[in-house]
Chains A and B, each alone.
Chain A
Amino acid sequence: MIWIELATDMSLDNLRDLYQQVILERYKKPRYKGTTDPVDRHQKGHNPSCGDTIELTLKLNESSDRIDDVRFEGEGCAISMASADLMAEALRHKSLDEALEMVYKFQSMMRGEDEFPKEHRKLNVMQGVAQFPVRIKCANLCWHTLKAAIEAAQSAEPAGYVSNE
């Protein structure tokens, strides 16, 4: 395949870092699409300039301080959708405080300054995005939306869109 023949090409190496197999698989066959039952938190987010949207729902434990389940609906590019799917997986059974810390860690990873420890190393496949500054907001969209979902007053009502720009 042409792609492989050109493997020595620097820019194509970058592309391969960006579109890792895991990312394309999650884009095509997401595992966490849908809506949680029940919906304890509900937040919509979008990137107005490109039109990507995401709708995040969270199911919390009884004391409302831990995430039992995360699901997303949305439309967007491979980067934004795969990022959401990987995020949903990583958030299961995390406390809200831990989840917030992960938001900050992800954002610094996008600046090329940090990466996740072993436990969450799957999220590190998103590191290639840091090479593509214009695409960072795609990867960040779900995390940005999560932050709003956590910080919003306890409510299952969608609180309008948060913008990631």
Chain B
Amino acid sequence: MTLAQERTLASRLRADFPILAQDVHGKPLVYLDNAATSQKPKAVLEALQHYYECDNSNVHRGVHTLSARATDAYEGARDKVAAFINAQYREEIIYTRNASEAINLVAYAWGLNTLQPGDEIILTVMEHHSNLIPWQLVAQKTGAVLKFVELDANQAFDLEHYKSLLSDKTKLVAVVHVSNTLGCLNPVNEITNLAHQYDAKVLLDACQSLPHMPVDVQDIDCDWLVGSGHKMCAPTGIGFLYGKRDLLRSMPPFLGGGEMIADVFLDHSTYADVPHKFEAGTPAIAEAIALGAAVDYLSGIGMETIHRYEQELTLYLFEKLNQIPEVTVYGPQPNADASNRAALVSFTTGAVHPHDLSTILDQSGIAIRAGHHCTQPLHRAINAQSTARASLYFYNTADEIDTFIQSLKEAIEFFSSIFG
């Protein structure tokens, strides 16, 4: 089976990812764990190599040529990220280690200093632990109260329940754009619009949307957005926080150190303007530059193109999975064009526990995730102790889905055969 857009996309682009051309346990690698981290194209690997071979130097510190080159490349990558999400100003992009650090930055710099006892933070039951625990810590310290939007009958964001939680007490809505477990695409424009009617701020966890579809912060109008580079073709160790410029300026620093200052005296200091106010110490320079290369690579393909192809993959994946009676999938079924969800699926099979399934599939070269995917409260809500998850990217093919489905069926048969 070859999907309509595959010839023009996956088959052409796979060659850009050296890691995909290997055998695991004697079988061609089928990498279906992209929600955990994506693979990296040559362009990104070369950007890292080039930086260390030609430009390595500290940024913003030297007047020598290498330092100027490193600084230009580092700041240039910021422009690329800003353009990628259509931020109005380049200063609205703050580099962090990952999305978790970006959320913690907001929790500590804004949350701890702003929230009062009785103020309410609205989250959802589907949040990744990264967008839950920082708010639990903030709530414990400030006396703010956490409220949780539940799932609707399709195991997607319950908009009506959300509306019922909003009030004048709501100060923050922190919500995932695409759930890393349910795969549902949340109605973030509506979520933001409603929150703003109550003067609440909105933080969007875009880890699972940024790599897969166009994301426009001005259109969504969120106040903050976080992303992790390693899920969108960039290396580990680099992520970013987007924040509206005035809001970022109003926030006190998070970490103190070099790079983030204007003037330092023994007893006090003044701080640099954003974004540098939030980038203390020598940053992950090579990784930031490589994030710029990743964004170039993705934009070169076109996020619209990637998204359309992944919608086709989603439909094919669900068509096949839905034919296996033992399989229970979580999250909403795709609609006609799969515009309501991402190309990832969490599921269980009656017979085979997710860990056993993952071990069995691994022996056929197929990499999937098993466990709670850092969404333990969600797993409680859907009444599953753990699930298996296959998550796709634009370099995956219909043939790989076939291989996965075939091995899944064999595993179920193997476990069931013991008792006939």
Query: CB within 8 Å of B: which residues of A?
Result: 1-3, 9-12, 14-15, 18-19, 21, 24-25, 28, 49-53, 75-79, 132, 134-135, 138
Q: Complex: how many Å from CA A20 to CA B352?
A: 14
CB neighbours (8 Å) of B413 from chain A are: 1-3
Q: Which of A15, A53, A78, A134 contacts B353 (CB 8 A)?
A: A78
Q: Tell me whether B414 and A19 are in contact (CB under 8 A).
A: yes
Q: Tell me whether B415 and A24 are in contact (CB under 8 A).
A: yes
CB neighbours (8 Å) of A76 from chain B are: 353, 355, 385
Given A51-B371, A52-B386, 9 more A-B residue pairs with CB atoms under 8 Å apart are A3-B414, A14-B363, A15-B359, A19-B356, A19-B414, A21-B418, A51-B379, A77-B356, A78-B352
Q: Complex: how many Å from CA A15 to CA B356?
A: 10
Query: CB within 8 Å of A: which residues of B?
Result: 25-27, 352-356, 359-360, 363-364, 370-372, 376, 379, 385-386, 410, 413-415, 417-419
A3-B410 contact in complex given A11-B363, A14-B363, A79-B356, C-beta closer than 8 Å? yes
CB neighbours (8 Å) of A21 from chain B are: 418
Instruction: Give A83 Cβ to nearest chain B Cβ, in Å.
Output: 13
Q: Tell me whether B356 and A51 are in contact (CB under 8 A).
A: no
Closest to A25 in B: B418
Instruction: Give B346 Cβ to nearest chain A Cβ, in Å.
Output: 13
Q: Tell me whether A15 and B360 are in contact (CB under 8 A).
A: yes
CB neighbours (8 Å) of B385 from chain A are: 51, 53, 75-76
CB neighbours (8 Å) of A3 from chain B are: 410, 413-414, 417
Q: Tell me whether A11 and B25 are in contact (CB under 8 A).
A: yes
List 22 interface pairs A-B (beta carbons < 8 Å), by A numbering: A2-B413, A3-B410, A3-B413, A10-B25, A11-B364, A14-B363, A15-B363, A18-B359, A19-B360, A19-B414, A24-B418, A28-B418, A50-B372, A50-B386, A51-B371, A51-B376, A52-B355, A53-B385, A76-B355, A76-B385, A79-B356, A135-B359
A77-B354 contact in complex given A15-B360, A51-B386, C-beta closer than 8 Å? yes
CB neighbours (8 Å) of B363 from chain A are: 11-12, 14-15
Instruction: Give B240 Cβ to nearest chain A Cβ, in Å.
Output: 27
Q: Tell me whether B417 and A132 are in contact (CB under 8 A).
A: no
CB neighbours (8 Å) of B418 from chain A are: 21, 24-25, 28
Q: Tell me whether A10 and B355 are in contact (CB under 8 A).
A: no
Q: Which of B353, B359, B370, B410 contacts A2 (CB 8 A)?
A: B410
CB neighbours (8 Å) of A19 from chain B are: 356, 360, 414-415
Q: Complex: how many Å from CA A1 to CA B417?
A: 9
CB neighbours (8 Å) of B355 from chain A are: 50, 52, 76-77, 79, 135, 138
Q: Which of A9, A53, A78 contacts B356 (CB 8 A)?
A: A78
Q: Complex: how many Å from CA A105 to CA B66?
A: 58
Q: Tell me whether A77 and B26 are in contact (CB under 8 A).
A: no
| Listed residue (A15, A76, A138) with the most chain B CB atoms within 10 angstroms of its CB | A15
| Listed residue (A19, A76, A138) with the most chain B CB atoms within 10 angstroms of its CB | A19
CB neighbours (8 Å) of A138 from chain B are: 355
Q: Tell me whether B419 and A28 are in contact (CB under 8 A).
A: yes
| Listed residue (A21, A49, A76, A77) with the most chain B CB atoms within 10 angstroms of its CB | A77
Closest to B406 in A: A2
Instruction: Give B341 Cβ to nearest chain A Cβ, in Å.
Output: 24
Q: Complex: how many Å from CA A51 to CA B359?
A: 16
CB neighbours (8 Å) of B372 from chain A are: 50-51
CB neighbours (8 Å) of A2 from chain B are: 410, 413
CB neighbours (8 Å) of A79 from chain B are: 355-356
CB neighbours (8 Å) of B27 from chain A are: 11
CB neighbours (8 Å) of B414 from chain A are: 1, 3, 19
Closest to A75 in B: B385
Q: Tell me whether A10 and B356 are in contact (CB under 8 A).
A: no
CB neighbours (8 Å) of A14 from chain B are: 363
Q: Complex: how many Å from CA A53 to CA B371?
A: 12
Closest to A74 in B: B385
Q: Nearest 6 A-B pairs (CB), nearest first?
A: A77-B355, A11-B25, A77-B353, A11-B363, A24-B418, A51-B386
Q: Tell me whether A50 and B370 are in contact (CB under 8 A).
A: yes
CB neighbours (8 Å) of B410 from chain A are: 2-3
Q: Tell me whether B26 and A9 are in contact (CB under 8 A).
A: yes
Q: Tell me whether B26 and A11 are in contact (CB under 8 A).
A: yes
Closest to A24 in B: B418
Q: Complex: how many Å from CA A3 to CA B407?
A: 10
Closest to A12 in B: B363
Closest to B363 in A: A11
Instruction: Give B407 Cβ to nearest chain A Cβ, in Å.
Output: 10
Q: Complex: how many Å from CA A10 to CA B26?
A: 9
CB neighbours (8 Å) of B376 from chain A are: 51
Q: Complex: how many Å from CA A12 to CA B386?
A: 25
